[in-house]
């Protein structure tokens, strides 16, 4: 089992505060000879509809020496996880969870903005100390 990110529990609690039910911790997928573990799987039952919304969340802290290096690793992981979900659970959307401070600093740079737009990275911006989701970006 992979090590949990430093802010794993904070993101989990933030999702639960927004009425998400954590269904998998981690969400395990085996496809094409690869075994993958996405940090969280969650579902939200919508009262007006019978079907709920399903997501998977890959949590990143971006605490390394270089935010671009951390982003390279996160992007590669995200793209592989998204492909695996498209093949195994196409009704589940994948989000990259990013701390609010990193979003305000690194993800406002032109290159980061171009990259997340090009690769259509859905983001969940979280505040680790307050354990809340600040913003959902589709």
Domain residue spans of the chain = 8-137
Beta carbons within 8 Å of 58's beta carbon, 6+ residues apart: 38, 39, 74, 77, 78, 81, 94, 95, 96, 97
Instruction: Give, for all 138 residues of the chain, the pLDDT tens digit.
Output: 455 678 999 999 999 999 999 999 999 999 999 999 999 999 987 655 445 789 999 999 999 999 999 999 999 999 999 999 999 999 999 999 999 999 999 999 999 999 999 999 999 999 999 999 999 999
Q: What is the 3-state secondary structure (H, E, C) of 37-50?
A: EECEEEEECCCCCC
Per-residue CA distances from 79 to 11, 16, 86, 124 (Å): 20, 25, 11, 16
- Alpha-carbon dihedral of residues 49, 52, 53, 58, nearest 10 degrees? 160
Q: Tell me the two tokens of residue 110.
A: 């032109």
pTM: 0.92
Locus of tokens 């982003």: 71
Assigned CATH class of 8-137 = alpha beta
CA 45 to chain CA centroid, Å, is: 19
Q: Tell me the two tokens of residue 9.
A: 């529990």
């Amino acid at each position: 089992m992979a090590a949990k990110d430093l802010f794993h529990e904070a993101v989990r609690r933030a999702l639960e505060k927004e009425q998400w039910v954590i269904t998998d911790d981690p969400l395990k997928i085996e496809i094409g000879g690869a075994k993958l573990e996405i940090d969280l799987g969650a579902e939200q039952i919508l009262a007006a509809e019978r079907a709920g919304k399903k997501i998977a969340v890959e949590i990143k802290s971006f605490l390394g020496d270089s935010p671009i290096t951390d982003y390279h690793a996160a992007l590669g992981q995200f793209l592989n996880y998204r492909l695996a979900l498209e093949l195994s659970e196409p009704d589940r959307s994948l989000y990259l969870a990013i701390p609010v401070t990193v979003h305000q600093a690194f993800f406002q740079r032109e290159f980061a903005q171009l990259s997340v737009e090009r690769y259509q990275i859905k983001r969940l911006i979280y505040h680790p100390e307050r354990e809340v989701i600040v913003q959902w970006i589709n």
